[in-house]
């Protein structure tokens, strides 16, 4: 309410500024002219002459010239008599002020303003309960804390995965480096650093990242994440067999139908299609596999699985005859909790496999086995 009152007062003041001069009597307004300048110049010529700076003849010539201008200016000033009968014009001007100022005010403020929002100075805003806060707010709090105490390694460690998830990759790398420097090296920290560097480099495992993974593996040769990335590095260098060897080892240890195993198999399929298929048979999960999958942060795992699913769907769109592929896709959607997509995939599979009764039968069985209504 106060705000609207202030707005109204401001608008009124703006209109008044225009109306006020319109209402004043003519003749009260001051105004100079160039006459003063020419008189001044005449004085100056006199001074110059007296000071001996110019000769008498020149002074006389200048005097004549300036006097001529002076007369011309005087004539011009006389010509400019105020025009009569401006009442209508002034009223029109006043009406214009009455319309234009509020109209502009409303038009622009209505499109850009936010009158309902109160002031929110930082000091007046006590930090609300953690649970109610947005990610950005939490990040900001941790950042503020770290700006004051940059030596708090734990803070960096908390912040790093959040950065990664927010796509602030370079900052994620820095946070990982800080955590490593302040808290000391552990295999997990080294591997996380390597992972962040790789993410920041568009997925390329650089020398620096590789070094980090190597340090992790030196301390813990079975470190899954580090091993996975070493495989990726090998793939990127064109050493497909080595990549396949590393990943095969990881798949063998992984819990069969866990997203981690699916993801690994997908990676393996890139470098060794036949080997991947051979390993797609389920094998019993081990405690170690569960731990390995858990090592991956949930958001990374999610991203990895999603990437895998997309690629699989893409392949099936081009070649729909692979019934096992379809089953994997449906299962993956279910794992991700996307029941509708799973159903859609099953439908698409049926359409793609039409005409091959044997394959449709296998598909239906598998889909039923997954608990999805045919």
Partner 1 sequence: MTRKQRRLVLIGSGLAVLGLAAALVLTALRDTIVFFNSPTDVVEKQIAPGTRIRLGGLVKPGSIARGENLQVRFEVTDGNTALPVAYTGILPDLFREGQGVVAEGVLEPGLFKADTVLAKHDETYMPKEVADALKKQGHWKDDYDKKRQGKTQ
Partner 2 sequence: MIAEIGHYALVLALGIALIQSVLPIWGVRTRDDALMAVAGPAALAQALFVAVSFAALTWCYVVSDFSVVNVFENSHSAKPLVYRITGVWGNHEGSMLLWVLILALFGALVGLFGRNLPRTLRANVLAAQSWIAAAFYLFILVTSNPFLRIAEAPLEGRDLNPLLQDIGLAVHPPLLYLGYVGFSISFSFAVAALIDGRIDAAWARWVRPWTLAAWMFLTLGIAMGSYWAYYELGWGGWWFWDPVENASLMPWLAGTALLHSAVVMEKRNALKVWTVLLAILTFSLSLLGTFLVRSGVLTSVHSFATDPTRGVFILMILVLFIGGALALYAWRAPMLKQGGLFAPISREGALVFNNLFLTTACATVFIGTLYPLALESLTAEKISVGAPFFNLTFGPLFAILLLAVPFGPLLAWKRGDLVGVAQRLLAAFAGALVAAAAVVAAQGGGPVLAPFAIGLAVFVMIGALVDLAERTALFRVPLAAAVARARGLPRAAYGTAVAHFSLGLVLLGIVGETQWNTERIVSLKPGATVSLAGYEVAFDGMVPRQGPNYRELAARFTVRRDGVVLGELAPSKRTFTARGTSTSEAALLTRGFSQVYVSLGDPNADGSIAVRLYHKPLVLLIWIGSVVMVLGGALSLSDRRLRVGAPKPARPKAGLQPAE
Interface residues with partner 1 (CB under 8 A)?
167, 169, 198-204, 206-208, 303-304, 306-308
Judged by beta carbon, residue 147 or residue 287, the one nearer partner 2 is 147
Q: How far is the CB of 303 from partner 1 (least distance, A)?
A: 6
169 binds, among partner 2, partner 1, none (CB under 5 to 8 A by kind): partner 1
Shortest distance in whole angstroms from residue 270 CB to partner 1: 9
Q: Is the dihedral of CA 344, 345, 348, 349 positive or negative?
A: negative
Minimum Å gap between C-beta 101 and partner 2 is: 4
Q: With respect to partner 1, which residue has the nearer C-beta, 37 or 169?
A: 169
**Which entry of partner 1, partner 2, none binds 38, CB below 5 to 8 A by partner kind?**
partner 2
Question: Measuring CA to CA, how many Å separate 295 from each of 91, 103, 258, 265?
Answer: 80, 62, 13, 18
Please report how many Cα atoms fall inside a 13 Å half-sphere around the Cα of residue 73, on the Cβ side.
14
In the chain, the N- to C-terminal Cα span, in Å, equals 61
Q: Which does 6 bind (CB under 5 to 8 A by kind): partner 2, partner 1, none?
A: partner 2
Residues 6+ apart with CB under 8 A from 35: 70, 73, 74, 77
With CB under 5 to 8 Å by kind, the binding choice for 33 among partner 1, partner 2, none is partner 2
Q: Which is nearer to partner 1, 73 or 211 (CB)?
A: 211
Distance separating alpha carbons of residues 192 and 255, to the nearest angstrom = 22
201 binds, among partner 1, partner 2, none (CB under 5 to 8 A by kind): partner 1
Burial (CB < 10 A; 0-12, 13-18, 19+), residue 309, is buried
User: For residues 197 and 366, which CB has a smaller minimum distance to partner 1 in the complex?
Assistant: 197
Among partner 1, partner 2, none, partner that 40 touches (CB below 5 to 8 angstroms by kind): partner 2
Q: Two tokens at 315?
A: 């392949």
Residue 215 CB, nearest approach to partner 2 (Å): 19
What is the rounded CA–CA span in Å between residue 233 and residue 240? 10
Least distance to partner 2 from the beta carbon of 281, Å?
47
Task: Pick one of partner 2, partner 1, none as the site partner of residue 274 (Cβ within 5 to 8 A by kind).
Answer: none
From partner 2, partner 1, none, interface partner of 198 (C-beta below 5 to 8 A by class): partner 1
Nearer to partner 2, 149 or 351 (CB): 149
Q: Contact at 8 Å (CB) between 195 and 225?
A: yes
CB of 55 to partner 2, least distance (A): 10
User: Residue 82 has what DSSP assignment?
Assistant: P
The dihedral over CA atoms of 68, 73, 79, 82, expressed in degrees to the nearest 10, equals -170
**165 versus 350: smaller Cβ distance to partner 1:** 165
Rg of the Cα trace of the chain?
41
Sign of CA dihedral 146, 301, 200, 233: positive
Is 120 or 287 the residue whose CB approaches partner 2 more closely? 120
> Shortest gap between Cβ of 97 and partner 2 (angstroms)?
6
**CA neighbor of 105 nearest in space, from 17, 2, 14:** 14
Compute the 3-state secondary structure of the chain and give helix, strand, coil in percent, each to the nearest 5. Answer: 75, 0, 25
By CB atoms closer than 10 A (0-12, 13-18, 19+), residue 30 is: exposed
Residue 93 contacts which entry, partner 2, partner 1, none (Cβ below 5-8 A, type-dependent): partner 2
Closest to partner 1 by CB, 199 or 316: 199
Q: How far is the CB of 5 from partner 2 (least distance, A)?
A: 11
User: For the chain, how many residues are written?
Assistant: 374
* DSSP conformational letter for 24: S
- Which lies closer to partner 1 via its Cβ, residue 199 or residue 269? 199
Residue 131 to residue 57: CA distance in whole angstroms: 94
CB 213 → partner 2: shortest distance, Å? 21
């Amino acid at each position: 309410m106060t705000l609207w009152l202030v707005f109204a007062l401001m608008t009124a003041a703006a209109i008044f500024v225009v109306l006020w001069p319109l209402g004043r009597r003519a003749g009260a307004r001051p105004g100079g002219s160039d006459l003063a300048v020419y008189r001044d110049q005449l004085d100056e010529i006199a001074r110059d002459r007296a000071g001996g700076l110019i000769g008498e003849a020149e002074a006389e010539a200048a005097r004549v010239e300036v006097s001529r201008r002076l007369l011309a200016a005087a004539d011009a000033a006389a010509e400019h008599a105020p025009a009569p009968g401006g009442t209508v014009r002034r009223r029109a001007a006043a009406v214009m002020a009455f319309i234009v100022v509020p109209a502009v005010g409303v038009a622009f403020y209505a499109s850009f303003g936010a009158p309902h929002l109160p002031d929110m100075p930082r000091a007046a805003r006590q930090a609300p309960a953690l649970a109610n806060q947005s990610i950005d707010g939490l990040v900001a709090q941790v950042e503020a804390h770290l700006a004051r105490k940059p030596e708090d390694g734990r803070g960096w460690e908390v912040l790093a995965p959040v950065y990664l998830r927010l796509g602030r990759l370079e900052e994620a790398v820095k946070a990982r480096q800080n955590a490593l420097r302040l808290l000391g090296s552990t295999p997990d920290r080294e591997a996380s650093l390597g992972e962040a560097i790789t993410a920041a480099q568009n997925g390329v495992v650089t020398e620096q990242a590789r070094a980090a993974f190597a340090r992790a593996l030196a301390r813990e040769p079975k470190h899954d994440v580090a091993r996975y990335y070493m495989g990726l590095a090998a793939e990127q260098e064109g050493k497909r067999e080595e990549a396949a060897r590393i990943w095969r080892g990881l798949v063998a240890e992984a819990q069969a139908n866990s997203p981690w195993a699916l993801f690994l198999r997908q990676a393996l399929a890139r470098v060794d299609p036949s080997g991947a298929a051979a390993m797609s048979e389920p094998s019993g999960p081990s405690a170690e596999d569960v731990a390995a999958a858990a090592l991956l942060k949930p958001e990374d795992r999610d991203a990895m699985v999603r990437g895998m699913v997309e690629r699989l769907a893409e392949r099936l769109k081009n070649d729909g005859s692979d019934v096992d592929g379809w089953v994997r896709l449906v299962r993956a959607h279910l794992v991700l909790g996307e029941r509708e997509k799973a159903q859609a995939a099953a439908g698409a599979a049926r359409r793609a496999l039409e005409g091959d009764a044997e394959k449709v039968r296998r598909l239906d069985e598998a889909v039923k086995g997954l608990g999805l209504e045919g």
